[in-house]
Amino acid sequence: MSVKLALARLGQVLALVLSLSLSFLCLEKGGAAASTLDSVKDAGVLRCGVQEIGPAFSNIDETGRWVGFYTDFCRATAAAILGDPEAVEFVVVGTDDRFSALRDGDFDVLMSSATWTLSRDVDGLTFMPLYLFDGQGFLVHKVSGAKSLVDLKGGTICVEDHTTSVANVRDYDTSHGMNWTVKPFATVEGAFNAFFEHQCESVTTDVMSLASSWLFLAPNPEDHVILPDRISKEPLSAVVRSDDVQWSDTVRWIINALISAEELGVTSKNVEQMKTSNNPEVRRLLGREGSVGALLGLDEAFAARALAAMGNYGEIYDRTIKKTLHVERGINNLWTKGGLIWSPPIR
C-alpha cells in the first residue's frame, strides 16, 4: 500500500470517528438519550399535542380555556408529574402533521383521537393504553330518507383526509361494491361544511367525533341523522415517541392509574379518605405502600395528585363526553360492567 493511499484511508477513518463522536454528543443533548421526563420536570411544563375537535374532546371554550376528554388527560398527566394540572402547554396540531410533529419533538405527548394501527405503531410511535373505543359511522341528510348504508350506494362521501376514515371508506367501498365517490378534505370542518352544503350525501368519521362535529357545527342539527351502520373498530389512545422507554412507561401508568382508580372506587372526592384504606391495591395506587412511583421516576403520590386534580377515568368521561354529547359509556365502561376499559395490576 502506498503512503499516499494509507494517508487517504487514515483520513477517512478519522472523519468517521469525528462524525460518530458528533452524533453521540447530539444524541446525548437532544435525542433518544435525553430523558423526556427530566426535560418536562426541568421546564416545569408538559407540552401536550391536541387537536380542536369539539368541546367533548378538545376545544377552547368561551373563556379561552381548553376543555374536553383529551385535555383533561393532559392535565392529569401534568398533575402527576409536576404537581400542577395547569402546568400544560397545549400545542395545536392538525390531522396531517400530528405524528410527524410528535416524532420531531414539537411536544411531549399526543392526546387525541389517534387510532392505533400497525403502520403507525412501527413508525417511531408508541401507543398508550386504549382510553376510548369507537367505530366509524355516517351522518346523512334526514330529507334523503336514508336508513342504512345500502341507501348511499353510488353517492359521494365527504371525509377528513390523512385519517383512518379515508382508508376505511375505500375498503368498504371495494368490498361491498358501493360505487362511492370519496371526497377528502384537509380539515374536519371542511368535510362537514361541504356536507351541510349538500356537496355529498354523507360525511363520515368516528361516531363520537361525528356526533360532536354535527352538534356543534351544523346550522340545524335536527336536519341530519347518524345511520346505525359501523364500518370499523377505532381503538384510540395517547401517543408518544418510541425513543424513550422511561417516558412511555410514565405516561402509560398515569393513564392506567386513572382507570385503576375507578375500578377501586377512588375518586377526586374521596382520594384523601381512601389513603387510609386497608386494601393493598388502593394503598399501592395512592403511594401508601410499595414503590411503584420510584419505578417510573416519580414520587409515590403521583396518582393521588392526578386523581385529586382531575378525577378517575369515569369522572373524566362523565364530565366531558357524557355531559356534552349525552353518550353513555357502552363499550367504554369498565370491564367489570361489560365494557372494554381496564388496567393491568399496579404492583
Residue 52 has pLDDT above 70, yes or no: yes
Confidence check: pLDDT of 248 > 50: yes
Q: For 206, phi and psi rounded to 5 degrees?
A: -60, 140
User: Could you tell me if residue 8 is inside a domain?
Assistant: no
- Say whether both 332 and 242 belong to one domain: yes
Query: Between residues 270 and 20, which one has the greater pLDDT?
Result: 270
Residues 127 and 250 in one domain: yes
Same domain, 63 and 179: no
Alpha carbon separation from 172 to 40, 145, 151, 160, 187 (Å, rounded): 43, 21, 14, 16, 22
**pLDDT at 76 exceeding the cut of 50:** yes
As a whole number of angstroms, the distance between CA 311 and CA 261 comes to: 9
Quote the domain boundaries for residue 207: 136-232
pLDDT at 272: 97
pLDDT surpasses 50 at 67 = yes
| The pLDDT value given to residue 176 | 97
CATH number of 221's domain: 3.40.190.10
Task: Look at residue 313 and tell me if it is in a domain.
Answer: yes
My answer on whether 127 and 266 are in the same domain is yes
Looking at the chain, the whole-number percentage of residues with pLDDT higher than 90 is 84
Q: Per the domain annotation, does 76 fall within a domain?
A: yes
In this structure, are 126 and 252 located in the same domain?
yes
Grid cell in block for residue 315: 369522572
Angle between helices 69-82 and 302-310 (to 10 degrees): 140
Q: How many domains does the chain have?
A: 2
Task: Give the model confidence (pLDDT) of 169-227 as tens digits.
Answer: 999 999 999 999 999 999 989 999 999 999 999 999 999 989 988 988 899 999 999 99
pLDDT recorded at residue 265: 98
Q: What is the mean pLDDT of residues 50-67?
A: 92
- Give the confidence band of 95 by pLDDT, cuts at 50, 70, 90: confident
Residue 34 has a pLDDT of 65
Q: Does residue 53 sit in the same domain as residue 166?
A: no
Shared-domain flag, residues 86 and 142: no
Q: Which of 193, 213, 232 is the endpoint of a domain?
A: 232
DSSP string spanning 116-169?
A: --HHHHTTTEEEEEEEEEE-EEEEEEGGG---SGGGGTT-EEEEESSSHHHHHH
Per-residue pLDDT at 33 exceeds 80? no
Query: Which tens digits make up the pLDDT trace of 142-170?
Result: 999 999 999 999 999 999 998 999 999 99
- When pLDDT is averaged across residues 33-40 and rounded to a whole number, the result is 87
Burial of 250 (0-12, 13-18, 19+ CB in 10 A): buried
Residues 210 and 265 in one domain: no
pLDDT at res. 300: 97
Same domain, 116 and 241: yes
End residue of a domain, out of 232, 254, 280 = 232
Q: Do 260 and 301 belong together in one domain?
A: yes
**Of 232, 262, 288, which marks where a domain is finished?**
232
Q: Tell me, what's the pLDDT at 16?
A: 38
CB distance 183 to 197 below 8 Å: no
- Confidence (pLDDT) at 72: 98
